[in-house]
Structure 1
Amino acid sequence: MATSLGITSVAQAVWSIAQGGRGAMDVAAYWQKGRRRFMFLNTLFSVICDIDFLSEPLRFLGEFRFTVRGVWEILWYRSQYYKAKLQLLIAEKGLPAPSECTGGTCTTCAPLRPLKVPSAFSEACGEGLAWRTIEDVIPFFVCQNVKHISANSKTCPLAHLSDGFWDVLLLRGSRGI
């Protein structure tokens, strides 16, 4: 449910769907091989979602609501609820140099070879590629291809929308303070 779109209850969500209601989403569209494709800008899991969704009643505080709810989450630490198994395709070692995309002549995007993604979770990944499995308590997880998760949170500073990769930021194995 999107409070920012005025949908605050299941009944409102159902009514909006029944009327064919539409609203903005964090989705990117691009053209590849003559076809228009869509992708999400980020995927979130864990305490970051709790901070976002559970701070809705504090919306009157503006961006400060995230700080207030974040402190509450730290004080009432609930990482035992975030047990997960992630499988990630690790493309290359090393970090790219931070840069801004300049379009067709972008120095970040130009040298990248097309990534041949194998079928989901297969072992045969090709040269330089390997699936990595992480099974642990993961109290913080963000996967995105943009630098900012909000106006004042630059969680993945090396993320680059047009490089074809997702940046993963996670905290694992933490058992509290």
Structure 2
Amino acid sequence: PCLKPLLIILIIHQDVRTPKMAAFYTYKIILILIKFQQAWTKTKPIEKNIFIVFSVLFCAGRPHAPERYIRYPDTLGWSDAQKFCRERHTDLASVRSEDEKLKVQRAGDGWIGLFRDTWRWSDQSDTPFRHWAANEPGPLESRKCVYVQPTDHGWATSYCDIKRPFICREGTST
């Protein structure tokens, strides 16, 4: 009886794409395991608990999907772009390394998740990595949002209500 729920967990886990979906599927997995556990009247309680712990560890130990960056050419203000990305993906793009910077550059220009509140990422990740364009960040306090420039792919500050393309991140939550 252990193989069926284990296979279900594997199939569901490989399908997970966003943290919201992962939470939903985790909830469904728990319900499935409870139903199986209730059906195992002949199995000793200790064996049931070991299986459930094993199943949870099995799911938690699987590698996460690699992050992808998706550029939307439709123009939105920073807050609307963030809302769009959070509803359909994970968040606006956060860049934590040179490798991620190159992936975002390949996606194109547009809003990313950095904003001025001591320059932090919209997904609350904490990283010192920055790729400012020349003369950036700008001196104006009201320019609080960041976008990737179309010319040199450097980062520049902008008024948050200006409509621009934007880059969403899809992958693991930080």
Q: TM-score range by the shorter chain?
A: under 0.3
Q: Could you tell me the TM-score, scaled by structure 1's length?
A: 0.20
The answer to which structure, 1 or 2, has the higher relative contact order (CA under 8 A, 6+ apart) is 2
Q: Could you tell me the TM-score, scaled by structure 2's length?
A: 0.21
Between Structure 1 and Structure 2, the one with more helix by share is 2
